């Protein structure tokens, strides 16, 4: 990992905050073609594209996963996996129940004003797959949707070459209340969820991560349906003072680097000596990780250790980067955290490793990336709900407010607005 000193390399450090997700014209062109094809041809396009990209046997299996296949998945997972999955689901549910928003009402001066929250009716969850299984992604999306009161939770995930979805993913879907499962992936899955086909009804919102094609498709269908966010490569900033153990710091940087080649593992320390200590620990752990090739590319390309001389300076760097994950391995992490405004999830102390947040702690692991923590938040129950404003005005309150409406409507040149008030004022 390269080492930067904020006192002499401030410009290089500042460039770490510029992580734009620039659209790829070729990807956008291909995704647009897929979206229009699915919109026009429906199930026929889905079957053809799935046969082309994922599974040659999709015609015999069908797009929808049967209930029998879901039930059978339990035979292929261990008891220990099921125990851990249920423990994670319990913790995720406990945390997200606290997020449930409450409708409220204000009565004042002849008016009754309120906000009324209601769940979305039908939500689509995209779960990446093909080469790996992500049951944790299922839980992190489906559990808060269920708590919000969503009646129909639909899942789409790319099948393996044999047309099957991983047993762990199917079990997670069953455990978290998903009502429909489709073996489709990529931009075509997003198109099916957004537009609907002969066999798949459109959803109100799409959540869940994916590759560049999925991200581009979600961006393009926004407006037809809601989306959670456009997720970029994963990232972590580990702030470590002299009390932190270098092997802990290195392990958490490695956990981020093994995700993919575009992951950003960043560490901030108070001295050059500690930076070199962490760097050696990373190099040592890199030699024994099974995903060494992926981690090495991430560390070489995006990995960096920053030497920062003060708490104030370090907090400024963190807020500038606005990381998806922030670990504070420092003496007084709670005090330190009060200086942080921009971060998706904040992990306090050396025992609060990010992996706990990824799986079992309870808070959602679907987080803003690429600096978007400056203005957005983790996925939560509110993402699966909406609210309506309700306005009820008595006649006396109308008379009191009408002159103000007339005055403002005239200023804006909206004479029918003014008339809608005047006509009521003249009524007997």
Decide if 91 contacts 362 (C-beta within 8 A): yes
Q: Strand, coil or helix: what is 103?
A: coil
Tokens of 52: 């082309």
Decide if 364 contacts 147 (C-beta within 8 A): no
Catalytic option among 324, 327, 354, 418 = 324
Answer yes or no: 365 catalytic: no
Instruction: Give CA–CA dist 180/153, Å, rounded.
Output: 7
Tokens of 251: 């392990």
Instruction: Give CA–CA dist 384/206, Å, rounded.
Output: 10
What length is written for the chain? 428
Decide if 103 contacts 117 (C-beta within 8 A): yes
Instruction: Give CA–CA dist 273/198, Å, rounded.
Output: 63
Instruction: Give CA–CA dist 365/382, Å, rounded.
Output: 15
Answer yes or no: 29 catalytic: no
Strand segments (E) across 127-278: 152-156, 180-182, 205-207, 226-227, 235-240, 264-269
Catalytic option among 235, 325, 354, 365 = 325
The continuous run of DSSP H or E covering 372 comes out as none
Cβ-count burial 19-35 (b if 16+ within 10 Å, e if not): bebeeeeebbeebeebb
Instruction: Give CA–CA dist 398/371, Å, rounded.
Output: 46
Q: Strand, coil or helix: what is 71?
A: helix
Strand segments (E) across 216-372: 226-227, 235-240, 264-269, 304-307, 325-329, 345-348
Q: Strand, coil or helix: what is 226?
A: strand
Instruction: Give CA–CA dist 425/416, Å, rounded.
Output: 14
Listing from the earlier edge strand, what are the strands of the sheet with 325-329? 2-5, 304-307, 264-269, 235-240, 325-329, 345-348
DSSP conformational letter for 287: T
Decide if 189 contacts 182 (C-beta within 8 A): yes
Q: Which residues are catalytic?
A: 324-325
């Amino acid at each position: 990992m390269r080492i930067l000193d904020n006192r002499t390399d401030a410009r290089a450090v500042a460039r770490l905050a510029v992580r734009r997700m620039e659209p790829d014209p070729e990807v956008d062109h291909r995704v647009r073609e897929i979206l229009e094809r699915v919109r026009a041809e429906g199930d026929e396009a889905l079957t053809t594209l799935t046969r082309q990209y994922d599974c040659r046997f999709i015609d015999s299996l069908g797009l929808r996963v049967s209930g029998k296949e879901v039930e059978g998945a339990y035979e292929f997972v261990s008891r220990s996996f099921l125990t851990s999955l249920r423990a994670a689901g319990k913790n995720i549910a406990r945390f997200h129940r606290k997020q449930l928003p409450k409708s409220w009402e204000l009565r004042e001066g002849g008016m009754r004003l309120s906000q009324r929250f209601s769940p979305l009716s039908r939500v689509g969850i995209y779960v990446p797959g093909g080469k790996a299984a992500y049951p944790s992604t299922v839980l992190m999306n489906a559990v808060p949707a269920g708590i919000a009161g969503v009646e129909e939770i639909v899942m789409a995930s790319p099948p393996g070459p044999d047309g099957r979805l991983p047993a762990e993913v199917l079990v997670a879907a069953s455990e978290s209340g998903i009502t429909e499962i489709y073996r489709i992936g990529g931009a075509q899955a997003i198109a099916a969820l957004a537009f609907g086909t002969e066999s798949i009804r459109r959803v109100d919102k799409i959540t869940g991560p994916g590759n560049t094609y999925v991200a581009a498709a979600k961006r393009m269908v926004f407006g037809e349906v809601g989306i959670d966010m456009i997720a970029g490569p994963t990232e972590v900033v580990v702030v470590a003072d002299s009390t932190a153990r270098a092997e802990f710091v290195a392990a958490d940087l490695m956990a981020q680097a093994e995700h993919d080649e575009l992951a950003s593992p960043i560490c901030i320390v108070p001295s050059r000596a500690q930076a070199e200590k962490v760097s050696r620990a990373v190099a040592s752990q890199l030699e024994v990780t099974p995903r060494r090739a992926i981690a090495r590319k991430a560390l070489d390309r995006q990995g960096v250790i920053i030497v920062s001389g003060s708490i104030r300076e370090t907090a400024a760097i963190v807020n500038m980067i606005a990381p998806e994950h922030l670990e504070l391995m420092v003496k007084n992490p709670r005090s330190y955290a009060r200086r942080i405004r921009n971060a998706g999830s904040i992990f306090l102390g050396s025992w609060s490793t990010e992996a706990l947040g990824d799986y079992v702690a309870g808070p959602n692991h679907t987080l803003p990336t690429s600096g978007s923590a400056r203005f957005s938040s983790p996925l939560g129950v509110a993402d699966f709900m909406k609210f309506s404003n309700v306005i009820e005005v008595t006649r006396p309150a109308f008379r009191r407010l009408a002159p103000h409406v007339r005055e403002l409507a005239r200023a804006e040149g909206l004479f029918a607005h003014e008339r809608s008030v005047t006509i009521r004022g003249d009524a007997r």
